[in-house]
Structure 1
Amino acid sequence: MGTEQIRRWESGALAHAVSDPFAQGPLPWLRDAEHYFDDGQLVPWYVELGSGQSRSGLIPAPRRTGGSPKTADDVRGQIKGFASAGAVAPGESIDFRVTVNPPQPFGVDIYRIGHYAGDGAAKITTSPRLSGLVQPGPLSAERTVSCHHWWLSWRLQVPSYWSPGAYVAVLTTDDGHRSHVPFTVRDFHPADLLLLLPDVTWQAYNLYPEDGRTGASLYHAWDDGGKLLGEREAAVAVSFDRPYAGAGMPLHVGHAYDFIRWAERFGYDITYANARDLHAGRVDPSRYRGLVFPGHDEYWSPQMRRHATLARDTGTSLVFLSANTMYWQVELAPSVSGEPDRILRCRKRQGPGRPLLWREQGLAEQELLGIQYVGRVPEPHPLVVRNAGHWLWEATGAHEGDELTGLVAGEADRYFPRAPLPEHTDRILLAHSPYHDAGGVRRHQETSLYRAPSGALVFASGTFAWSPALNRPGHASPVVQRATANLLDRICKRD
């Protein structure tokens, strides 16, 4: 595969976009160049259908001294970077390690994701002018790629007054190339809801560098001729000490951002952390009425599962807004320099040994979720409403058998009669949606809700399309918006 072809792709698109029709999701600071298609019409993503231009003006134009910004790629590495931590608390610092080719000054604009009157994000601060240099090439050992040896480029001291949330550092060179580094500002103060960003799954899909030679994820690697190889030749371990491929944003990140924008628009009391915080035991579930898993969250360590199960069993509700959750079991290990949880390991199907699917170890994901992964959905299908008299569908206008267009997409879950169910006092399936898989076999998706003996509610949407239906232009569904509000209001005990 030639250089020119590889360079056209952004993070994950080369290998995975076909399995996620929502892919990275729109980024508000790219609004001059990024568009989506709606009924064949080219529309800037930030324009809500029927509205005019962005209203609030909270997003200034990104710095640009060399014309319109251009997305950096992994072949030339015009500008690429990563952060020293996935999450940081107000008052702490976070380090950015950045390579710039050719060497030249660059700057960093920090954005916070949110509703912001429809803009989707707001610029919070800007770095001083920084000197960019070409960092050493990535190190690779048995397909594990790491840039832990890069020099420090900029240290951000996070002010104590910053709001917790999902943040993105936008890196821009003087000649107008741009890349991104996502991070979380976490806060464990009591709140109604704790949102957990799925950074473990994001890293599993990261093919950096997507250069036809060096990069590897838990799905793919390259052979000597630049051919993309499959899982049996992929990495067994991947490092968090490296940029994300292409534009620098993880695949599936848009799912989480869609939920954030919607939830902040309606004023839910939310604080933020990430999957590695759950793994490390930093989450005290007694401080929250619910834990929200807003996006594709496929890779779980035993510690993550244990802590989520403890949350449910002590009365904290769980909300899973995607599909294919908790499918692979993984381990997190220290980096070569001893930093905890900087290496993600998952052997998958390589070599002999015990299987690493949770369900193959007698620990079906259905025992926590209420449903579990069935497969990919090659083309979007309608989500078919079931048990329309249930309170989840109240005031949505949905009736039994109604079809919500395009809301079974990407991947799907369903109830498996032969797999164990969780203990529950009541349980219901709220959608039963037929579709055909890539082989033409008729299958179905289901949406699940149950109440645990502790009183906790556990909801699983069973489709990739639920979070985008909350806020994504061209995909938003008033039915899903109202149903999600019904669920969260009950969890938060709103009147």
Structure 2
Amino acid sequence: MHQMYSAGPGADGEDAGRRRFLAIATGAATAAGLGALAGCAKGDGGHDGSPGTASASAAPGGKPSPAGAQGLDVKAENARPGHADWPVDKAGPARAIEGFADRVSVLPGESFGLHVSTTAPRFTVSAYRMGWYGGARARLVWRSEALPGVRQPEHTVDAGTRMVRTRWTRTATVTTTDWPEGSYLLRLEAQGGEGRRFVPITVRSAATAGRTVVVNAVATWQAYNRWGGYGSYDGPSGGFASRSLAVSFDRPYEYDDGAGLFLVYEAPLIALAERLGIPLAYTTTTDVAREKRLLDGAAAVLSLGHDEYWSPDQRAHFTAARDAGTNIAILGANCCYRRIRLEPSDLGPDRTLVCYKSSYEQDPGFKRGHPATVDFRSAPGADPESSLLGVIYDGYPVDAPYVVTNPGHWLFEGTGTRAGDRFEHLVGVEYDKVNTGFPTPRPIEILAHSPVVCEGRPSHQDTAYYTVASGAGVFATGTMRWVEALDATGDGRSGRNHGLDARSGALTTRVTENLLRVFAAGPAGRTHPAQDNVNAVYGGSESVSR
């Protein structure tokens, strides 16, 4: 069986081209998504009716606020006025200003360091909490005074792993007093408007019991980050052989706005979930990996649009949550595909992502007995992702219609869809399917079964839902464009790189609303058990390994 799992879509020879393909799609979609937020909305940013101006220099190590311990009141938070002027619409010259936080997440009230490099003499930092806010999508919760700018030293590249290192000094310390839990973008702005960039950070929840957990996929953001010329897919030559074998969180994100993959693959879902007002908690993939009991008692946990790189601990904690009755939603494709290891950097724990892929035998950690950082389905230690997801990654690149198979399913309630309805361009750029040649939980129900042709190979994309003995339900969209499609309007403002239209936006929005409401209510399998239909969909032969 190891041979079955030893190779598959996204194999090493394809990685460099795959990364470039996704980067082009992401960049276009980001620009399109920002264009959709043009307009003006005014209102309070701080508690006193203003954004609040305070020094970015503050004592580190602040304690979590009482609000953080009690949990976020999503409805009350989103009733506050938003600020529609948050986007980085004019990034300015390269290297004009950029930076990173020395922690991917903090508890409310804790501090973190900002490491900023700029050619400007002074700059400011504005902290925007991302949510719904009546459609503005963000609220300004804090703004710094003008801070002195400095041009930080050039990065270096580790000779053994080709990992980019910055070793920048800390520019400012930010304390998150009175910042509600959530996903944040810090906007760095050079004096005189010479440049703007984002720095993402999560104000995480201390507990998740009874709530739906939004998990920011920070490991995948970093793997695709090519700042300094190197990422997990290629180096300056563009070839796979020159890729980084380890990448560091101690650097900015390459994409023009500095937000990594957040705005395309995560922000639209967060806006929708907060608009619904369901109880939410926030965390990151790093936190789930580190804290064994973080998901205890959670109603549901959400993996968003592109969540490819997982540590074994993260996967074990997701699986344990499912087996304890927590629902899981996989709102993308190619999820839980790469097995990684997290190691410390000079700035703290879990700030180095190690993924040797096919070169795992060169990994000093593997030689010391750590699991090989190869694809989960590959030897040694093959453990295909389908045992958790229900579906398994089948390939890229594709661009195909999404075809509804099971319109009577509760997830399609209110969509008005009929069997065979097609939604153009909704399947892509990567896709998953039900493939019983790999470990597949049963009963599993296929809701959409879309023909695709991937590099000349006919196949299918599947959206699927399964339930387990604990009562948990697990849903997987099977397409990477699902979250992105939530913003599709058909008016040219968003999704224009794929041609996603208003029908796709309406479909994905209603299905996601149905999903989030049912999953927030507790173990979905107790009220909505899956009805296995694999034989019917695949004509009695079921899906087999290719």
Q: TM-score, length-normalised on structure 2? A: 0.76
Q: Is the 8 A contact 1:262 1:471 kept in 2?
A: no
Show CA shifts across 1:141-166 (max 9, x none): 1311122x21111111101x322111
The aligned residue for residue 344 of structure 2 is 334
Show CA shifts across 1:308-349 (max 9, x none): 110111111111100000111110011145x21011000012
Match of 2:37 among 46, 68, 84: 46
The aligned residue for residue 59 of structure 1 is 83
CA distance in 2, matches of 1:378, 1:397: 26
CA distance in 2, matches of 1:479, 1:430: 13
Q: Which has the higher helix share?
A: 2
CA distance in 1, matches of 2:301, 2:179: 22
Identity score, percent = 33
CA distance in 2, matches of 1:286, 1:221: 40
| Pairs within 5 Å for 1:242-253 | 242-245=251-254, 246-251=256-261, 253=263
The aligned residue for residue 511 of structure 2 is 483
| Pairs within 5 Å for 1:96-245 | 96-101=114-119, 103-142=120-159, 143-147=162-166, 149-159=167-177, 161-176=178-193, 177-189=195-207, 190-209=209-228, 215-222=229-236, 228-245=237-254
The aligned residue for residue 395 of structure 2 is 375
| Pairs within 5 Å for 1:417-456 | 417-422=436-441, 424=442, 426-437=443-454, 439-456=455-472
Find out whether 1:308 has 2:308 as its counterpart.
no
Deviation at 1:97, TM superposition (A): 0.5
**Structure 1: runs of 5+ lacking an equivalent:** 1-12, 28-33, 37-42, 48-52, 210-214, 223-227
Q: Is the 8 A contact 1:279 1:303 kept in 2?
A: yes
Q: Is the 8 A contact 2:398 2:427 kept in 1?
A: no
The aligned residue for residue 384 of structure 2 is 364
Show CA shifts across 1:424-475 (max 9, x none): 4x320111001222x3332211011000111100111110111122234444
Deviation at 1:287, TM superposition (A): 2.9
Match of 1:262 among 265, 272, 277: 272
Secondary structure, in 3 states, of the residue corresponding to 1:418? coil
The aligned residue for residue 225 of structure 1 is none
Secondary structure, in 3 states, of the residue corresponding to 2:356? coil
Secondary structure, in 3 states, of the residue corresponding to 1:221? coil
CA distance in 1, matches of 2:286, 2:373: 23
Deviation at 1:220, TM superposition (A): 1.1
The aligned residue for residue 492 of structure 1 is 520
Residue identity opposite 1:345 in structure 2: V
Q: Pick which of 269-278 and 385-394 moved more.
A: 385-394
The aligned residue for residue 8 of structure 1 is none
Q: Is the 8 A contact 1:372 1:414 kept in 2?
A: yes
Find out whether 1:286 has 2:286 as its counterpart.
no
The aligned residue for residue 5 of structure 1 is none
The aligned residue for residue 31 of structure 1 is none
Deviation at 1:274, TM superposition (A): 0.2
Show CA shifts across 1:72-126 (max 9, x none): 42xxx2111000100011110011010112x411111111111111112122211
The aligned residue for residue 18 of structure 1 is 21
Deviation at 1:418, TM superposition (A): 0.9
Q: Which has the higher strand share?
A: 1
The aligned residue for residue 274 of structure 1 is 284
Secondary structure, in 3 states, of the residue corresponding to 2:387? helix
Secondary structure, in 3 states, of the residue corresponding to 1:287? coil
Q: Is the 8 A contact 2:407 2:418 kept in 1?
A: yes
Q: Classify 1:21/1:401 alpha carbon distance in 2 versus 1 (closer, same or farther; 3 Å).
A: farther
Q: Classify 1:164/1:138 alpha carbon distance in 2 versus 1 (closer, same or farther; 3 Å).
A: same
After superposition, the CA RMSD in angstroms is 2.6
Q: Is the 8 A contact 1:180 1:247 kept in 2?
A: yes
Residue identity opposite 1:146 in structure 2: R
Secondary structure, in 3 states, of the residue corresponding to 2:189? strand
Deviation at 1:54, TM superposition (A): 5.0
**Structure 2: runs of 5+ lacking an equivalent:** 1-15, 44-81, 363-371, 491-499, 528-546
Secondary structure, in 3 states, of the residue corresponding to 1:435? strand
Q: TM-score, length-normalised on structure 1? A: 0.83
Match of 1:71 among 60, 76, 92: 92
Show CA shifts across 1:326-384 (max 9, x none): 111110011145x21011000012364767111113311111000011111343x2111
Find out whether 1:346 has 2:365 as its counterpart.
no
CA distance in 2, matches of 1:22, 1:322: 15
Q: Is the 8 A contact 2:130 2:182 kept in 1?
A: yes
Q: Is the 8 A contact 1:24 1:251 kept in 2?
A: no
Q: Is the 8 A contact 2:334 2:393 kept in 1?
A: yes
Secondary structure, in 3 states, of the residue corresponding to 1:307? helix
CA distance in 1, matches of 2:18, 2:405: 35
Find out whether 1:388 has 2:407 as its counterpart.
yes
Q: Is the 8 A contact 2:310 2:337 kept in 1?
A: yes
| Pairs within 5 Å for 1:456-467 | 456-467=472-483
The aligned residue for residue 6 of structure 1 is none
CA distance in 2, matches of 1:365, 1:400: 29
CA distance in 2, matches of 1:248, 1:221: 19
Q: Is the 8 A contact 1:20 1:464 kept in 2?
A: no
Q: Is the 8 A contact 2:114 2:170 kept in 1?
A: yes
Q: Is the 8 A contact 2:355 2:373 kept in 1?
A: no
CA distance in 1, matches of 2:84, 2:185: 15
CA distance in 2, matches of 1:128, 1:84: 20
Deviation at 1:21, TM superposition (A): 7.1
